[in-house]
Every structure is written in C-alpha cells, then in structure tokens.
Structure 1
C-alpha cells in the first residue's frame, strides 16, 4: 500500500506518530503537544515536515520522489535521500535539498553492488515507522535501515541504524539538490577520517542568478573501512575527490562521495553535516561548535529544539470550551509553521558585510504580507523586527527591497512592491524602536519612484506610465525597464495600496508633502474601473455589472474575462500563462482595495450590492481559499456593517478546508500563510495588513490569551455563551476592559497593552457593529 494512503488511514484513527488524538482524549493546554508537522504533506501543501529550529538554516528531512517541494511528502512512495536544508510551502520547483546522504548495505559486501544513482537507490519506507515532531524526524527504509535526524542552527545530525550483521555499511553523499539544478560541484573525502568537504553551485527555485552552498560531513560510530567517489552507477576508492559540471548537452551528471565503515558494535553510524554559504571551513566550524559530541548529542539537540518551540508557542494559551482536537491541532500547527521561515542566515551572507540581521527565504512577500508577518508581529516581535531590518539592509546594498528572495538570490516579483506593506504594518503597530524609519522611508520611496532596469525581481515596472497615466497600461510601452509585461490590473491595484502604505509612513514621519502625493496615487485603482462591464459563466450572465478591465495607453479598453484565472478557469501563472491579473481573477481583484473599501462599496452601488457580490463570489466557485488574495474577502462584510456575515463566511471555510490530516490544507502553505489565516480565524481577530486594524469575529474556542513578548501584558478574547457546536456564532454585545465596545474592529494596542475583549454570543445576527461609526476605517481622497 502506498505510504500516503496508509498513513492517512492511521491519521483518521488517531494512532500515527505526530497525528492528533481524537476529541474524546483531550490533550493538555501545552501547544507543543498538538503540533503535527505532517499537516500539508499531501494535497499540494508542500510543507517542510522535518527537524528544524525556529527560523533555522538547517532543516533535516527525508527526501522523496513524487511531490517533494518541501523534501518529504507522504504521496511520494520512495525515499531518495536525507538532506539538511529545505524551504517550506514554496510551490513550483522543489527548493534546496542539497547534498543528500543515503545509507545502504552493498550486497555481498561488494562496493559496486551498491546503488548510487537516484533512480537506482530509491527505496520505500515502512509507513508505521514514521516519526515527525518539532526537532526530530525519522523513518525506516524497507532495507531495514533506520534513519533519525535532528538539527542545530547550522548543522544536522543523523543516526543511521543498520541491520544486525552488516559488514561494511556505506553512506554516500550526492552532489545534487531536489531540483537537480546543480551547475557544478566538488567533493573531497579524507582517506583516514572520512570527512567530506565541498560545495556546489545551484539555481534558486523561483528566482534569478545562482548560489553556492558548502558542506562539511563527519562520521562516527566506527572506524573507516574505505572511502572514495562515485560517478553515475560506479564507485572507486581512487581518486578521493571529484569535480562535476553539467554533462554533454547540459545532461545532468550524477556523482558524489562515499564512506564505508567497519561494522559498528551497535549498528549505529552517526553522521554530522555542517552547512554554510560562506565556505567549507565555516561549515566545519558550525558543526563542531553546535554539535561538539555527535555520538551523544542527539537527545540534547532534540530537547533543545522542543524547548525552543515550546518557548515560541508560550505567548498563547487557550481555553478550548470543547473545541475539537482536530481544530486545536490545526491551530497550533499553523502557529508552528509560521516560524519555520523566513530563515535566519545572519553570519552566512557572503554578499556583503553588515552588522544587521540577514534573513532569507522570503518566499514570497506577496503571500506572506497579508497574514504571516502580522502574526509574527504579535507572537514574535523580536524576529519580525529582525526581518524588517533585513529587508532594509537588502535595500541598502541592492537598491530595492525584495518581493521574493531565496538562497541569497532575487526571487521573481509577483504583484506590487509588497515589502512596502510589511514596512507600513510594522510602523503603524509601533513594532520596534530600533528600526531606522528614515531608512525605511527611503526604501519605500525607491520602490515608488525608481524603476530598475530589471523589475522582474525587485522594484516596480511601468513607473513612467504609473506617474503620467495613473494606471499600468495593457501592453505598456516601457523602454526604461524590463520584466514580464503582464498583470496590468493587479499591479495597478497593488501599487495603489502600496502607495497608500507609503503615505501612512510619510505622515507618521511628519512628511505632509509625501503624504498628500501618495494619497493621490493611492486612488489610481479607480482608473481601471469599467462601469458597464458584465460577467458570464458558461454563457449565463451573472447579473453583475462593473468590473476592473485592462486599459491601453491611449485610454481605450482591452478585455479580460472576469472569471479568467479563477477556480472556474485556468490558473494564471507568472511564467507559463501570464495574464492581466496575477494568480487570481478580476472577480477576485475586484475586492482588493484595503484602504478605501467604502469607495469600492459606493462604486458597486451600496452595502447591499457589495454583500450580493461577496455572496456570489463565495458560493459560485469563483473564490479559491487556497490562494492568499481570498483571505481578506472573507471578512469584507465588516465594511458593509454586517460583521455577522463575515462570521458566517469563515465558518464556511473552517473546518471544511482546514483539518489535521496530511491533506489538511486547501493548497500550498506559502511559507505558513495558510496556517496564519487559520490562526487568525480561530483567534477571532483578522489583520488588515498595513493598517492598525483587526476585524473582530468570535473565536472558535471559548477563550484565547496572548502574552505580549515585549510588554509582558496579556490580551484576552473571551466568548460568553460559547458552544462548540457553533450554533451561537453571532456577537450580541461586546466589552473591552469591562466597558461597552460597539466597533467591529480593534487596534494593535489590544495586544501591547493587554486588553480583555468579551463577546456575548447568540444564535442570531444582532445590531452589534452595524452602525456606520462602528465600521472599520476606510479612507478616501479628501476625507
């Protein structure tokens, strides 16, 4: 039976390692005990399921064939190696997975009887052996070899347990990565110690350029029998080094090094691998300093990882009120996945010297700015501060902040310059006193004013048209910079909100001139509104009129079907079929005006018209909860004075699209964004990224509290009249710190000052939050 099917069955029975217990066996309130790293290892979740520290560089896991973007996936039936670096929830091409190790026993103790190439050596694993928990990953291959792994910050530690009677166990290192993007690589094996050192040049999975990664591998548990290198399907003890490039016609040449050991007394071979982006010597130093006693350090490292994760989860406490273990497992696992990436590469940046932190794997900010970074602002403001400082340091040295970045490389820009929103969000929430806000203003102004020659991986394209025409034209003539000439609608809408965020930062820094300039540009979204545009589905008129449409430079209209790029049509990719909207339809982008929802409501014809559009969008199949632009639309009813309808809508998606099974995410996790959406939904406070606004909806638990890591104050949301069957989901009245609260939203002060929000619930919609004065803030020019 394939691993995915059997493990899923075990998950449903509640008996597989790392799978939540059934509701009848409620666990402790400790969030760590609920974490299931296997959520999202099927159904395209692409999560990293292996061992990692919070934001750690080293990430050890088994790599499988099939869906292996994050290394391990239960739908991949065969293990092809065990590697020490990965990304999580990235989608697209597999990311990292460099220099995998593979243990085996050579039949008849003959070196050339071992299997070296990926297609030859791959093996199924024993389903029941799988162990996945924070800081520890393990399984047993069908060959009988057990593999367990854990990590420090920059190094991984493996325990390979060989069957009794094994004569000379072999461990190979493959000079490849998951994507097989290697351009060249080298390895040298020390004849006496078996130490392997080397490096390789690889391509980023969603970006431009290349990166060099270095390794240092040591072996423990027995003395060395023999060492050497292998190429294709043959190995030899001479020479002790090899250099590989792409082969004939760029054919991918497989090769690497190997070590055979004398029979270990207990069958265990311990392997320590250090990783560095600087050089092999630093990879060795990383390993030696972080894992000084490899034979005995395994349990210490697992314990350190568990303590680190327990600390990161510690701000949150929950009174479940009967909420299911499935929901709690999904919730805590979502929090966990939000702290896997971005990754802390401080001290591992060969591109420039700096005293600022360096974070990588911003993968991608178009996905993460909406909910992941706002969640880190609440739960881990220290790390979020470091990430903001890293973005600003990238600007200092490269001229623009990234919209996407991985493996020291510039990733492809998907929408606008969405790091601007991350900066504004940090500013309006008073994230830190250490951030250089004048530098931050320079950085966002560079996005808004300076078009790079290559704007496909940073900055904005079409700025001359943006400034002169007040929109991005369809088939823009742009000889000043170059990128994918598409996404004219989505870029117009995203640039408008980016400029609004710039205006907020400028206003807070006393720059009234800049505030007025960028407020004016923040209304450019209106210039692509075509009031008479209709929309049909399968030849039937949806009955709605007025949509965004592409517009040429001369002011005449182009056309894109409003349902194109939706769940009812073909998915629109940046690289294969770019359209005038990115990864979402015109129907979807209709609702992306976060700063001026009231103006959008007026364009549509009022509150009832907005509600009708939202209802149709969420019930017709147009909405795709597996992609981030949908998130905000779930809560947009707040702006019509009907917060109860937002509550109804989130109960449409939770738990139906989110559960604790391996396929329990609706789609790609996008570095934790799917998990963050669930966390905020369960919490009952949804952020409007870039603004000091959280939209209030009753939590999915009786009570949730968060102790702010900086101020030490505890914020609490408490449901009065909560029932776990979710019949009472409507707010009847609310109090903050004992005083009536009629607004349907609240600010970040709730968290930093430790307020208590009490929501009295009932079975029917009430008048709470419906008054015009109680709606969330919505700006319009001149207001």
Structure 2
C-alpha cells in the first residue's frame, strides 16, 4: 500500500509539472546539492525543507549562532520548525524546538555531534551524551516536520557482561523527547526575538499541542503566533510538562518558558518517530495540516521530498564544467528556491484572501536583482503569485513592501524596490496580474510621502524639493540613486498603460542622480540642504556600522559609483567616454574596492558591456565566480534569500539580467551547455563548446540561428525557446564592442 501511494504521488507530480525531462536524462540532481555550502559566511540553512516550504526543520545550536540558528562549531540543542536562510541582522523564528535526549533532563543540552549529513529534504546527525548515541533524522512536508530518533548504546558503553551476552536487554534505554513551545534563536545580541507567552498541552498518550507568541528580530517587533500539533508513532511511557525549568506530570503549562516532555523505555536501537505540523492561524489549523498529510512513513516522506526537489532542480540542466562547479551550481539553485515561505491561501493570520500569501521577503532589495528574474524564467507562475501577493499586501495594508516577515513590514534597505520587480514583469510581459492596479501601487511609492519611510514607501520631502536626499537623511545619497532608478521603473509601467505624460514625468525625474554626481571626483557624494558638498569626501568612506550610513547604505562611494542602471551611456559620457570609464572600472576592481559580497555591486562587473568591452566583463565575472566554492565557507557573502546564489547561477550560465529592464547581458559561461526549462514546454539553451578557465572570451555569437553582434538580448529572444551559441576562445576579440545595451539617453 505504501509503495502504491508513493507511485501514485510520483505520477501525480509528473502530471502537474510542465517540464518533464527527456528520456535518458539523469534524474538524480539532488545528489549534486550540498546544503552545508555557505552555512558559515553565507548563513544558509542546512536542515530539511521543500521548495518554498512553510516548515524549515533544522538544527539550532547553543548561542552564539547565526540567524539560521546554526553554527558548525557549536553543540546542537535541538531541532526547530521555522527558519530563515542566508539573512543577517537579528534572528527570527527557531520555534517549536524538539530536543531528543537521555538522562538527565536538560533544557539546554550540549551533546557531542558527529557524522552530519544533509541532502535536499533530509538532514541527519549523531548526538552522543551520557553513554548513549542518538541518530537524529529530519525530513519535511510543506507544513509538517518529520522526526526519527534512534537511541542506542555503543559497544564502548556496554558492560563486560553485556558484551559477552552479545546483546543489550530490552528496555535498557530511557529515551526522552522535549518540545519547547517558547524556543527562539538566541544570538545574544540586539534585535533578538523574545517570547511573550506560550502554552503546551498533553492531548493523549501520543499527542501534544501548543502555541507560542513572539515579537522582535530584524525589522521590528512584528508580533506573531505559531501553533503546533505533534503526534508520536508510539505511546508515551511517561509524560508531562515543564515551566521555568520545573518538570511535572501536569498535562498543561503556560508561561514564557514552557514545554512538554515524554519518555520511552526502548530496546537497543529503539526508535521514536513523530510528526509536527505548524500553523500561524490556530491549533485547530495545525491539526488539520497534520491530518491532511497522508504519508506517515518517514522513509516515504524523505523519498517524496527528494523527488520534489529533483523536479525543481530539473528546471535548469547544465553540462560540462567540473564536479565542483556542478555542485556549487545546483546547491545555488537549491538555495534560490528555499525562500520565501509559501503560506498558501489559508495560513495568512492577518486577513483572508484568494491570493497565496508569502512570508519572509528578506529582502526585495536583495532578491529583485537576481532571484526574481530567475523565477520569471524558470518559475513564471510562482513569480506571478509573488507579485499578486505584493499587491494583496498593498490592498490590505496600503503600501508595497520592501521586506515582509512574520506578517508585517520590516526595514526598507534602499528604494521602493517592488517598483523594480513590477517593472521587470511588465517589460517582459509576464502577465498574470493587474497592471493598472500595480501601477497605482508603484505610483503611490513615487508620489506620496510615506509616514514611515523606514518600513515602506519613500522619504520624498527632500527628494521632491531638492532632487536628492540631503545629509539630514540617513543613507540619503544611496537612497537618492535608488529613487532615481525606481522612478525610471515607474515610468516604464506608465508607458505600458499608454500614459505618456506620466511616463515622461518619471523619466525626467529619474535624472535626479545627476544632482549628487561630482564631476571633479567622478563619484557620487552627499550634499546638505543648501546644495553644498559634505566635507570629508573619500571614495572609501564608510563607518564601522556602514548599514547606518550616514550617506550610503552598506557600501562606500566606490560601491555606488556606477549605480545608474537606466542611463549608463550618460554616466560614461560624464567620465569622458568609454576609455576613461573602463579605466575607472579597472581601478575599482584592481584597487580592491569591489565587494561581490553585497548586492549593490551585483551588476557592476558587467558594466564594461556598456563601454563596448564585454571581454573585460568576462574577466571580472570569471574571477568572481571562483570565489564560490564547495565547503561551509563556500559563499563570498550572506546568501540573502538566494540572491548571492542566483548571481552565481546567471554567471555560470553565461547571461545576466538587468533587473527592471528588458535586457540580458551576454557573459562568459562556465558550462558548455545550460538549458532552461521555460513555460509551455519551451527550452532555451546556451551552448559554449570548449568553455574553460582559459576559453572565457566570446569570439562569435549566434542567437536563434542569426549572427549576433550585440552583447545583449531581450526576453522575447528567449521566452519561446531557442538557442544562444557562443564560440569561446582564449583571447579577446572584437565581438560585442559596437552595439552597447540600451540607455535612457539613447532616446
């Protein structure tokens, strides 16, 4: 029966998936994924989850730790059900913590950990304490976490008599499971989440339920509640609750430090399995989520998770390259599909809607550059759902979010970046959402002063009055540059609706970046309200707490020196032409001023294209791609909801999106062939035979059967399928030097 269920599910999944691999294609792409890549510098999540899963079941370690609750050098405390991946700032979540242990009872255990293993949808580790080993295994459905704990005594802990007998008598291991209803990820720093109130109840001889109410973390208080329903595969031999470290046999506990416990008398290698469903609505909804999960067998659920991930990873196929590059690539794709969390249509605690709701846009300032353009290509229906969710938030809360977590606005990091996401979808004719409604939302960002510009909208008073944000506004210079690009994006949406006057208005206002460009230094800098330059200019100016400004957010003047993605032609002209601009970029890179580890620089290595030197872009991008490696420190910066990983994906495939515009820049592929599975069964393939570390220069291009001398192409060139053929070589050529990508001043 179980085998039949698995076969039936697999057939159903194949029928619902538009991209069925061709006969003979390798289906084991999950074998290339290493979830431990980037867990340190990149803050990626090692635990078990599904693509966009609401449950992200992963180990939490004793503090101090990362925002994922994990660090390689810390002992594991337990396994909780909701996490972020790749983020910085103060931690959130780490709720409903399951703690397996033996004697004595300990709310803060620090067992020895060995033999960690992870694969998409599965995590395993061996914990050792008090002469007992606990093999901990985790897998996940969309709203349910599955646990399997195997308790055993290693040979070294047995008595001589037991060893002579050759077995361990039955019921010699006392296995205990704690469920901490008040658990959080405690980073021991500011912005930490804190528990408001929790409760847990023993519901039967194999069931527990409870809830926790929390607030705090990066982005503000954002109060939320999480409810859980836990069902064990075997009845308890003893059970109870605890409050403030005091254990009892009571069936109910309430407070700020509470949980439930249960014990099992087990034979050697005795197993305890449990399923934990979560809900952000109610305990009753958590039980419904649990009961709707038809599979209960741990191995079947694990195999299903592997199958689901395998189907998702098949959205891109790469051939050639090294095994390490393939591992980094598919792990990057895995990371790009981990967030945001899909709450569906019935788990939004704030309002009811016919739209799917997502938590943890963390943040659009990061993901608009790479992740969302990636979804537009390989998951267009998911991108439509995301945009409709953003508009649904606007409908119910009044503003488009830049960051949305735990059901509320978090911090704006730059401009009103949902403007870019919507413009990107409009110019690529993604469809599936109300463009007029979307224009209303982005127009509000552009025209209406926000009452809380650090949470949503824009700080428009000075921008409209002076054409820039002055030294009085934190991060005013970088925000001014981003507002200028946002205005360009709003203008494009206006144009799509035939509103030419409004289009011209926003396009003219998108020139405001000129107000902070200093022709003497060729950098952007800061001005006061009188229009005078702030003293103390340095191209490397940055405070230690650089996220707090004063003039540029998370960067130096070098980092923002080229941020005019809508009018590179004019910026190049202000530098004196293509030659001086190329020299400026060379100084940026060769002087050690470039930082791939932060999103404002994602487009910068490709900007040589606009000066007619795609060969220089190829050199810079190829060097940067080598900073992505296997290993726990394998990412050059925080992954930021897959933004860093998606940057690698595009670079490795050989083209890069200019987010918010209908432009893809042709780069230097790592792989000899990359195939994207597009909508309606179409496929777009980049072929680069002979691509290697030496053969990194494009010498000739053919797009869909036509000789292609431009170093860029449009979405229409690939969306119906086709092929980009690149002839690669070890030395630069004249290819791509005469027809640069479009700029606003071309008009």
**TM-score, length-scaled by structure 2:** 0.90
CA distance in structure 2 between the aligned counterparts of 1:395 and 1:610, rounded to whole angstroms = 41
Say whether 1:763 aligns with 2:716: no
CA distance in structure 1 between the aligned counterparts of 2:142 and 2:538, rounded to whole angstroms = 47
Q: CA shift at 1:211, angstroms?
A: 2.9
- Unaligned residue ranges in structure 2 (runs of 5+): 1-24, 154-170, 187-191
- 8 Å contact kept, 2:198–2:258: no
1:243-642 matched pairs, under 5 angstroms: 243-245=254-256, 254-263=257-266, 267-290=270-293, 292=294, 294=296, 297-320=297-320, 323-346=321-344, 347-432=346-431, 434-461=432-459, 463-475=460-472, 485-532=473-520, 545-559=521-535, 561-564=537-540, 570=544, 572-574=546-548, 578-642=549-613
CA distance in structure 1 between the aligned counterparts of 2:318 and 2:448, rounded to whole angstroms = 47
Aligned pair in 2 of structure 1 residues 30, 262: CA closer, same or farther (>3 Å)? closer
- 8 Å contact kept, 1:715–1:750: no
Q: CA shift at 1:496, angstroms?
A: 0.3
CA distance in structure 1 between the aligned counterparts of 2:295 and 2:31, rounded to whole angstroms = 28
CA distance in structure 1 between the aligned counterparts of 2:500 and 2:654, rounded to whole angstroms = 35
Which stretch shows the higher mean deviation, 309-318 or 219-228?
Answer: 219-228
Q: CA shift at 1:650, angstroms?
A: 0.9
User: Deviation per CA, 1:511-547, whole angstroms, max 9, x where unpaired?
Assistant: 1121011001100000111222xxxxxxxxxxxx222
- 8 Å contact kept, 1:64–1:76: no
Q: CA shift at 1:241, angstroms?
A: 2.1
Q: For 2:126, which of 130, 140, 147 is the aligned residue?
A: 140
Paired residue for 2:99? 102
- 8 Å contact kept, 2:206–2:233: no
Q: CA shift at 1:166, angstroms?
A: 4.2
Q: CA shift at 1:231, angstroms?
A: 3.1
Aligned pair in 2 of structure 1 residues 470, 166: CA closer, same or farther (>3 Å)? farther
- 8 Å contact kept, 1:59–1:85: yes
CA distance in structure 2 between the aligned counterparts of 1:166 and 1:669, rounded to whole angstroms = 45
Say whether 1:80 aligns with 2:83: no
CA distance in structure 1 between the aligned counterparts of 2:205 and 2:238, rounded to whole angstroms = 10
- 8 Å contact kept, 1:54–1:309: yes
1:59-70 matched pairs, under 5 angstroms: 59-66=56-63, 68-69=65-66
Paired residue for 1:91? 88
Q: CA shift at 1:579, angstroms?
A: 1.6
CA distance in structure 1 between the aligned counterparts of 2:203 and 2:354, rounded to whole angstroms = 39
Say whether 1:699 aligns with 2:669: yes
Paired residue for 1:200? 212
Q: For 2:686, which of 709, 713, 717 is the aligned residue?
A: 717
- Unaligned residue ranges in structure 1 (runs of 5+): 1-26, 107-112, 246-253, 476-484, 533-544
CA distance in structure 1 between the aligned counterparts of 2:230 and 2:348, rounded to whole angstroms = 24
Say whether 1:748 aligns with 2:694: no
- 8 Å contact kept, 2:65–2:71: no
CA distance in structure 2 between the aligned counterparts of 1:356 and 1:769, rounded to whole angstroms = 44
Q: CA shift at 1:588, angstroms?
A: 1.1
CA distance in structure 1 between the aligned counterparts of 2:636 and 2:46, rounded to whole angstroms = 17
CA distance in structure 1 between the aligned counterparts of 2:314 and 2:204, rounded to whole angstroms = 47
Aligned pair in 2 of structure 1 residues 554, 102: CA closer, same or farther (>3 Å)? same
Aligned pair in 2 of structure 1 residues 191, 637: CA closer, same or farther (>3 Å)? closer
CA distance in structure 2 between the aligned counterparts of 1:340 and 1:186, rounded to whole angstroms = 28
- 8 Å contact kept, 1:222–1:264: no
Paired residue for 2:644? 674
User: Match of 2:633, SS?
Assistant: coil
Q: CA shift at 1:33, angstroms?
A: 2.1
CA distance in structure 1 between the aligned counterparts of 2:667 and 2:289, rounded to whole angstroms = 46
Paired residue for 2:658? 688
Paired residue for 1:19? none
CA distance in structure 2 between the aligned counterparts of 1:678 and 1:339, rounded to whole angstroms = 14
RMSD after superposition: 1.9
User: Match of 1:695, SS?
Assistant: strand
User: Match of 1:196, SS?
Assistant: strand
Aligned pair in 2 of structure 1 residues 694, 218: CA closer, same or farther (>3 Å)? same
Paired residue for 2:106? 115
Q: CA shift at 1:558, angstroms?
A: 1.3
- 8 Å contact kept, 1:563–1:622: no
- 8 Å contact kept, 2:210–2:228: yes
Aligned pair in 2 of structure 1 residues 680, 100: CA closer, same or farther (>3 Å)? same
User: Match of 2:736, SS?
Assistant: coil
Say whether 1:777 aligns with 2:730: no
CA distance in structure 1 between the aligned counterparts of 2:591 and 2:300, rounded to whole angstroms = 53
- 8 Å contact kept, 2:488–2:510: yes
CA distance in structure 2 between the aligned counterparts of 1:449 and 1:597, rounded to whole angstroms = 25
Q: For 1:212, which of 219, 224, 229 is the aligned residue?
A: 224
CA distance in structure 2 between the aligned counterparts of 1:182 and 1:465, rounded to whole angstroms = 37
Q: CA shift at 1:687, angstroms?
A: 0.5
Say whether 1:169 aligns with 2:140: no
User: Match of 2:641, SS?
Assistant: helix
CA distance in structure 1 between the aligned counterparts of 2:477 and 2:568, rounded to whole angstroms = 17
CA distance in structure 2 between the aligned counterparts of 1:508 and 1:736, rounded to whole angstroms = 27
User: Match of 1:141, SS?
Assistant: strand
CA distance in structure 2 between the aligned counterparts of 1:562 and 1:436, rounded to whole angstroms = 45
User: Match of 1:670, SS?
Assistant: coil
Q: CA shift at 1:278, angstroms?
A: 0.3
Q: CA shift at 1:191, angstroms?
A: 6.1
CA distance in structure 2 between the aligned counterparts of 1:584 and 1:701, rounded to whole angstroms = 32
Paired residue for 1:20? none
1:221-236 matched pairs, under 5 angstroms: 221-236=233-248
User: Deviation per CA, 1:597-655, whole angstroms, max 9, x where unpaired?
Assistant: 01111111111111111111112121111111111111000000000000011122121
User: Match of 2:77, SS?
Assistant: strand
User: Deviation per CA, 1:683-708, whole angstroms, max 9, x where unpaired?
Assistant: 11011000010100131111111121
- 8 Å contact kept, 2:670–2:691: no
- 8 Å contact kept, 1:214–1:283: no
Paired residue for 1:663? 633
User: Match of 2:688, SS?
Assistant: strand
Q: CA shift at 1:280, angstroms?
A: 0.9
Q: CA shift at 1:130, angstroms?
A: 1.2
Q: For 1:131, which of 106, 117, 123 is the aligned residue?
A: 117
- 8 Å contact kept, 1:86–1:96: yes
Aligned pair in 2 of structure 1 residues 779, 327: CA closer, same or farther (>3 Å)? same
CA distance in structure 1 between the aligned counterparts of 2:96 and 2:366, rounded to whole angstroms = 29
